[in-house]
Structure 1
Amino acid sequence: MPRLRHAKCRRLGVAGFIGAFGDLTGWAATSTTARREVRTEVMSFAAYAIVRCQVPVDVDFVVASGCRWGIYIRDAYPEQATEFDEQAASLGFCSKETGRMWSYLAKICIIAGTAPGELSPGQYQQARTALHDGIVEVRGYRPKSLSTPLFGLDALMFHRGQAPAPDIRRRWTGRPANEVEWKDLAARGPQLVATMRRYLAQCALSLQPSSVTLFDTTLRQFAAHLLAADPPVSCVAEVAREHIESFKTVLATRPGYRGKMLSKTTRGMRLGHLHTFFSRITEWNYSDVPARIPVYVTDRPRLDKPLPKFLDDAQAVAFMNAARQLPDPLDRLIVTVLARTGMRRGELLGLTVDAVVQIGTGYWLRTPVGKMHTDRYIPLHPQLKDLLDEWITTRPRWQSSPLLLTERGRPIPPTRVDKAVQKAASAARLGHVHPHQLRHTLATQAINRGMSLEAIAALLGHRDLSMTMVYARIADRTVADEYFAVTKKVESLYAASQPAVLPAEAAGPAMRVLRAEATKRLLGNGYCARPLELDCRYETICESCTMFFTTIEHRPTIQAQRNDADAKGQTGRRDVYDNLLKRLDDTPA
């Protein structure tokens, strides 16, 4: 009986569709409002025909119709739907998330008029943008239920080869709302913007993209400040010292992206960018340049030079024990790599799946080109090698991205690394720990255990030893240990009721070396004042050497040596000793 009822509904749907629209051409020519007012069975047949015939549908109807497009596309392409589900599961999406992603993919396919497996990257991007904008327009705001599935769908479709590379962050969180774009600034100051963008284009040819991005942000902020001045500055040649001073005030008072005031480091970076900008365009002989460079080196705030923050041995043990207990394998891998290698956060994010290489009998980790524009090899600890092998084994091999660390098919952002480190720190009850502290911790542990500065510099990827010398200051802990060991013995001397003699070992190794050196240079009748770097090839002419000096306590020895020389008829030696005795007698005590 139910099957007869369904068959009757289908017949009524077909008849109603033909009677109302004739065919799909007539249906497409009808208004969205008229199409939505038809009976349910007519709407169902129209959706079925659209999917089977792959007819593109306008965005307004797809958004407003309420049709269950995911079911229609799944019924039409069951094998493609199964493959999609398996791929989403391998990236870590649950069934509920996969269903929502499929629902939006179905709408994208309806707008593009094609099957899920036949979407090209261009078609996907165009239809996805239209769907996103259409939903926002209908609802009047950007719903979270829209952003989350589309964010995951972008990554999945990229690995399928049907979408461009996804952003690391969501677009609406990457930049504050008050940041202006170049196109808005160009309408108000075309010559000013043209000079700045010409400069940025040249920087892009020789600098890292991340550096160019920072320059871009600084110049956009500065251009917006100049155009808002009274009167507005229309070109770079009009920039004067007063504009730099007012911009410094703005930097010192404006809040940052997280609501806090800009740090000295950020303000100094911005002013450094401007100084470099004016210096370079002057050197490059641009026509749009001021008469003199308006930014001075003294404009940059003087920065403090604190010692690097690191975890001491007890804290490091607690931290690593907590890291091994983290339930998420990605968290464990992130923390272990940072702690065992001393890598920078950016270097960690740039690791690729082929980063582990074997050299001889050992395994090494190849770091990507990063902050210092160089790469290096870091020896791999066996535990870290096992973690990396386990991670690479479980990583879906069909992914298009060569990056080692991905989550749900998307490159992880820097904040994901921060959260992993903080999870281990919270579990160890250490408070706030930043990923760079693990780098400082490894270097401090290494130098306090005898590793040379050259080896530490090679391990950390420092360009020169001046960057590594800061860890030598931390190594004063070794001096402190010896100091307190000696102090304890000295305190026992002060606390005694009767004077006591300190044991020989109380002097410490440095003082024992000094005492041995002094004893070695003590002569039988005086001392040798010759510097250590000036060697002496003689053994019997010390008393006539200009470096020799003696004191009254050695007079008996010198008198005996004088008498011995006189008895043996050695007049030369006797005269030397006579002169020494006369000098001692003439010298006041």
Structure 2
Amino acid sequence: MPAAVPMSASQGQVEQYLSAMRMLVRKTGRSTTQAAHTFARRVDRAGGWSQLAIVEQADAIGKARSFASWLLVTGQLTIRADLMTDIDLRLGMVARGHCPDTYAWFLEAAERLRLQHADVSLQWNALMKATAVTGVAPQRLTDHDFATARDEIVTAYARRGMSSSGRNMSAIFTRLRLTLFHDGQLTQPKRHVAKAPVTMTGWSDAPEEFADAARRYIAQVELSLSPNTIHGIDQALREFGTWIGANRPDVATCADLTRSHIEDYKLWLGARHGRYTGKPLKRVTIKNRLINLHCFFDRITEWGYPNPPQRPLLFTGDLPIIDKPLPRFLDDAAAAKLRRTSRADPDPLSRLIVELLARTGIRKGELLALNVDAVVQIGSAFWLRIPVGKLHNDRYIPLHPPAQGDARRLDHEPPSDRATVPATPAGEQPTRQQPSGIDRLEQAVPRSRHRPRHRPSAPPHPGHPSDQPRHEHRCHRSPARTQDPRHDNDLRPDRRQDRC
């Protein structure tokens, strides 16, 4: 009787795969079994998976997707991120059946944060992709392993060449990092960015003297303006400088600029499409870019910078006219429906958020920035302390009794039975992510553009920037003075700060 031929490691994996499929009551017909054996023999003949060329790996996986997916989710095979992206393997669906303990662990971590079901599926799929790239089990991923997998997978998606390629996967990995951080597996809630910011590298194509003047100007105004306003100014000046360097090489300083340059830039700006949306820029965006550009020209002339513009270049007529639709408000019926829906919601955090927003009038950003000790008792009343924010002051707001009750219940419930807002480490900015319960309440209440009777429209107070950038001062303009930008308040966004 001839001796039995020892079974190779790859053939042993085939038997394990077929056994796992039978346990899940999945079909293992002749074609599925033959494809798995062919995959195993092909790897054995090559001397290992890594010895196959990238084209051969793609062909092998394409002919045995089920077996290859099982190897990847169980950590018995690793794959290059670009190959996994091209083949488009659905590893999350496969891992639900073959890795039930790991999936239950991840569901428990997501449940503590009250993540939406669709977001849980996206994060779970991304986690299994990271496992396939690194070969490390999901519950053993370290910060280094996670960062390596994230960079390789996002880069692979970005190579598709579309305007939004890689952005969605990058956002999913950002949320997945927060989930693993709050579960205690990762030590950092944000990834470390090693490359220099665009505010430093984005001036390379602009004329050198123009870039020096613009950076000097930005360094001055950021002492008095908000970070978001500075971001808009920096973006507008970098964009104009890059356009000058690419289309008008004869311009070296602001003194070389003429009205024809501004007119050509306006035409280019109006025809430009958004980087991510692929649609033409909105009129508000164009107006803000031109206003920021005018402020730069005007101020460097007043401040005595070298080589300022020789004449006014921008006027009121250059600014697009902005539509002013009625703001969105809830009418009485919609407000009552929102209160009923929130009180019936099983999530105490969602009820508390609706009560705070409805009773206190605070902004969403101020709500997300609240500290855990924001509720204080002064005398016999409870007050909500709003930290320093957009209004540049902190203040106390009386807390309504229903909100007090929800806050007490939320504070005494165990973490596993309530929705939790991920805590922000010291020194970090809060994550502006809307809780999932609010999405349910928003979908249940229709929005209206009509103003309610009990909230009449009031004229804006002097200096209220309702349709201008945050650093712009609105004021009535006399028709006789609109031709000179030095007397044009619509083009002088610095007036509000200068008069304070």
Is the shorter-chain TM-score for this pair beyond 0.5, marking a shared fold? yes
Gaps of 5+ in 1: 167-179, 445-452, 454-466, 468-589
Asked if residue 86 in structure 1 is aligned to residue 105 in structure 2, the reply is: no
**Maintained 8 Å contact 1:105/1:116:** yes
| Structure with max Cα Rg | 1
What residue number does 1:160 align with?
180
What residue number does 1:323 align with?
338
What residue number does 2:495 align with?
none
Aligned with 2:283: secondary structure? coil
Q: Distance in 2 between matches of 1:267 and 1:99?
A: 39
What residue number does 1:234 align with?
252
Please show how residues 404-553 of structure 1 align to structure 2 within 5 Å. 411-412=433-434, 424=445, 426=447, 430-432=448-450, 441=455
Asked if residue 19 in structure 1 is aligned to residue 51 in structure 2, the reply is: no
| C-alpha deviation, 1:107, in angstroms | 1.4
Q: Give the count of matched residue pairs.
A: 404
Please show how residues 535-574 of structure 1 align to structure 2 within 5 Å. none
How has the CA–CA distance of structure 1 residues 47 and 32 changed in structure 2, closer, same or farther, with 3 Å as cutoff?
farther
How has the CA–CA distance of structure 1 residues 383 and 190 changed in structure 2, closer, same or farther, with 3 Å as cutoff?
same
Aligned with 1:370: secondary structure? coil
What residue number does 1:337 align with?
356
Gaps of 5+ in 2: 1-11, 20-35, 192-197, 462-473, 475-500
Question: What does the per-residue CA deviation read over 1:337-375, in whole Å, with 9 as the maximum and x for residues that have no partner?
Answer: 344223345434433444322223222222232223222
What residue number does 1:351 align with?
370
Aligned with 1:156: secondary structure? helix
**Maintained 8 Å contact 2:75/2:137:** no
Asked if residue 401 in structure 1 is aligned to residue 420 in structure 2, the reply is: no
Which amino acid is 1:200 matched to?
A: I
Which amino acid is 2:230 matched to?
A: V
Q: Distance in 2 between matches of 1:283 and 1:149?
A: 47
Question: What does the per-residue CA deviation read over 1:41-80, in whole Å, with 9 as the maximum and x for residues that have no partner?
Answer: 8994896499557x75322443456767558877997654
| C-alpha deviation, 1:273, in angstroms | 2.8
How has the CA–CA distance of structure 1 residues 419 and 204 changed in structure 2, closer, same or farther, with 3 Å as cutoff?
farther
| C-alpha deviation, 1:81, in angstroms | 3.6
| C-alpha deviation, 1:382, in angstroms | 1.5
Aligned with 2:105: secondary structure? helix
**Maintained 8 Å contact 1:365/1:377:** yes
Select 1:131's aligned residue among 153, 170, 186.
153
Select 2:389's aligned residue among 352, 361, 370.
370
Which amino acid is 2:341 matched to?
A: L
| C-alpha deviation, 1:127, in angstroms | 2.0
What residue number does 1:381 align with?
400
**Maintained 8 Å contact 2:385/2:397:** yes
Q: Distance in 2 between matches of 1:337 and 1:46?
A: 47
Q: Distance in 2 between matches of 1:106 and 1:21?
A: 27
Q: Distance in 1 between matches of 2:440 and 2:360?
A: 19
What residue number does 2:139 align with?
117
TM-score using structure 2 length? 0.59
Question: What does the per-residue CA deviation read over 1:521-575, in whole Å, with 9 as the maximum and x for residues that have no partner?
Answer: xxxxxxxxxxxxxxxxxxxxxxxxxxxxxxxxxxxxxxxxxxxxxxxxxxxxxxx
Q: Distance in 2 between matches of 1:224 and 1:69?
A: 43
CA RMSD of aligned residues (A): 5.6
Select 1:29's aligned residue among 51, 60, 84.
51
Which moves more between the two structures, 328-337 or 82-91?
A: 328-337
Which amino acid is 1:375 matched to?
A: D
TM-score using structure 1 length? 0.51
| C-alpha deviation, 1:205, in angstroms | 5.6
Q: Distance in 1 between matches of 2:288 and 2:43?
A: 69
Q: Distance in 1 between matches of 2:150 and 2:38?
A: 30
